[in-house]
């Protein structure tokens, strides 16, 4: 992949190929500005000014590009992303205006995951110039965080197990002088019993652990970021069918989001006391796997009846949220690829958002819309708590009714968050089933930029 830090540079008048953006309304006037040969070239390429259309136009000894967008005065993050993918390597500038929000897609549109490809080739980067120099650092930081999610999620489970997630956090901590604490083995069984139970059937090389990192001035507001780190999910003894297991390398997508958000916070020096928590496990099958009917103790002290071993993510998150709550943070945000019900309700593009406080939910929704990273709030409906009642334990992990699956999972998590704490939960897919400009098929960040926007608005 190209060096993302070189893809946007200050415009100091250096030589660059012009990029003309037009929409249906401005296309007629643009055509009048062309000479007959250029208009002919445009027509030969069947350019009509539609979104993501582009054409190459000769201009003396050189050339320029023209691209269609929905509204030239209101660019999205993705308006120039396809250009960054299809144009030849070189340096470019938008003619007559600044790229604005489209800078983000220019960077993410050049992403390639080629770690395992023998025929991978280095491509010459497409560099975009901007006079809006103040945008460059935050845009590059947001794009870099998105690419962290993509790389972590795209990496298969054999190379991205609990140990590798720990290594990622340790490398991040080393770069930013943060503190890391990892609990594993007998201590994990005692301190985080649900994390241990879910992960104990895995091979020794994929042994479970709780990964914690703290960074920032202790005097600053404490914010906890929690990510579900199920590095592979077989379903446990309630084994998934092969079709349901095919993408389960992405079941640590919540951890990838949490780590990437930590990358953003630390790179841009947000004035918070960051507490990152990643319960990292593989939900495997062996003679010591936890079973349907088992009753697990949790860190918080609640007992949980296991009705489905494939509802394991909420178990490891429960212990992590309990730990986060003990330090009384101002805000807790968790990310998890938690329920198929959220995908049935909202599809792959929209993370389901749950929040205790309406102002937090609205802040996340607003920040997501501003960054073209939308999320959709679903209810923490009190009436559905009865679905979590167990005859033999404090609660069960997977209601049999099948109703309101995303909400009941969120209500399960809510039981482990400290009373009165501000908490938001993203049930995200972390995956693009089909490519879009700036967003290739595969692992992707969904909800990350929304969360960052809220944190920046509160603590920036």
Question: Catalytic residues, which ones?
Answer: 240, 314
d(CA 390, CA 396): 5
Task: Say how many residues make up the chain.
Answer: 460
Neighbouring residues of 397: CB distance < 8 A, sequence distance ≥ 6? 304, 305, 306, 307, 308, 311, 314, 315, 412
- Please say whether the beta carbons of 192 and 279 come within 8 A: yes
Please tell me the chain's helix, strand, coil percentages from 3-state DSSP, rounded to the nearest 5: 40, 20, 40
Phi/psi of residue 119, nearest 5 degrees: -95, 15
Query: Backbone dihedral region of 226: left (phi > 0), alpha (psi from -120 to 50 degrees) or beta?
Result: beta
* Structure-token match 């496990």, residue found: 281
Query: Backbone dihedral region of 53: left (phi > 0), alpha (psi from -120 to 50 degrees) or beta?
Result: beta
User: Residue 60 burial (CB < 10 Å; 0-12/13-18/19+)?
Assistant: exposed
Angle (deg, nearest 10), helices 448-459 and 358-370: 110
- Please say whether the beta carbons of 316 and 195 come within 8 A: yes
- Please say whether the beta carbons of 148 and 4 come within 8 A: no
Tell me how crowded residue 288 is: count the other CB atoms within 10 A of its CB.
Answer: 10
Sheet with 295-297, side-by-side order of all strands = 295-297, 303-305, 395-396
User: Residue 400 burial (CB < 10 Å; 0-12/13-18/19+)?
Assistant: exposed
Neighbouring residues of 225: CB distance < 8 A, sequence distance ≥ 6? 258, 261, 262, 265, 274, 275, 276, 277, 332, 333, 334, 335
- Dig out the tokens for 331 from the structure: 């805000």
- Dig out the tokens for 333 from the structure: 């945000």
| Buried b or exposed e, range 31-41, using 16+ CB within 10 angstroms | beebeeebeeb
């Amino acid at each position: 992949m190209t060096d993302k830090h070189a893809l946007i540079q200050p415009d100091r008048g250096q030589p660059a190929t012009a990029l003309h953006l037009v929409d249906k309304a401005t296309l007629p006037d643009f055509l009048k500005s062309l000479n007959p040969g250029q208009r002919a070239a445009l027509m030969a390429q069947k350019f009509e000014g539609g979104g993501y259309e582009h054409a190459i136009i000769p201009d003396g000894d050189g050339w320029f590009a023209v691209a269609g967008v929905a509204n030239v005065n209101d660019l999205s993050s993705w308006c120039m992303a396809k250009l960054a993918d299809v144009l030849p390597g070189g340096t470019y500038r938008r003619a007559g205006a600044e790229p604005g929000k489209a800078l983000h897609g220019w960077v993410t549109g050049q992403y390639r995951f080629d770690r395992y490809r023998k025929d991978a080739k280095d491509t010459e980067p497409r560099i975009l110039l901007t006079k809006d120099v103040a945008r460059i650092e935050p845009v590059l930081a947001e794009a870099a965080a998105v690419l962290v999610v993509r790389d972590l999620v795209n990496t298969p489970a054999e190379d991205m197990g609990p140990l590798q997630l720990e290594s990622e956090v340790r490398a991040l901590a080393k770069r930013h002088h943060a503190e890391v604490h990892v609990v594993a083995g007998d201590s994990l069984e005692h301190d985080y019993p649900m994390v241990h139970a879910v992960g104990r059937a895995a091979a020794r090389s994929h042994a479970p652990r709780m990964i914690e990192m703290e960074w920032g001035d202790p005097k600053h507001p404490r914010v906890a970021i929690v990510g579900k780190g199920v590095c592979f999910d077989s379903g446990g003894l309630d084994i998934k069918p092969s079709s349901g297991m095919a993408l389960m390398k992405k079941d640590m997508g919540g951890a990838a989001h949490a780590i990437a958000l930590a990358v953003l916070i630390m790179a841009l020096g947000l004035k918070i006391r960051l507490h990152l928590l990643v319960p990292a496990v593989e939900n495997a099958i062996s003679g010591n796997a936890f079973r349907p009917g088992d009753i697990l103790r949790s860190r918080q002290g609640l007992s949980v009846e296991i009705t489905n071993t494939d509802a394991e993510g909420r178990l490891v998150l429960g212990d992590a949220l309990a730990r986060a709550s003990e330090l009384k943070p101002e805000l807790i945000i968790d990310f998890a690829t938690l329920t198929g019900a959220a995908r049935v309700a909202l599809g792959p593009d929209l993370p389901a958002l749950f929040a205790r406080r309406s102002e937090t939910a609205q802040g996340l929704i607003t920040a997501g819309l501003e960054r073209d990273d939308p999320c959709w709030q679903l209810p923490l409906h009190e009436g559905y708590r009865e679905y979590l009642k167990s005859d033999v334990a404090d609660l069960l992990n997977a209601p049999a009714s099948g109703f309101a699956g995303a909400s009941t999972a969120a209500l399960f998590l809510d039981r482990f968050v400290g009373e009165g704490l501000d908490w938001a939960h993203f049930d995200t897919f972390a995956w693009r089933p089909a490519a879009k400009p700036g967003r290739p098929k595969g692992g992707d960040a969904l909800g990350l930029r929304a969360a960052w926007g809220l944190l920046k608005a509160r603590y920036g």
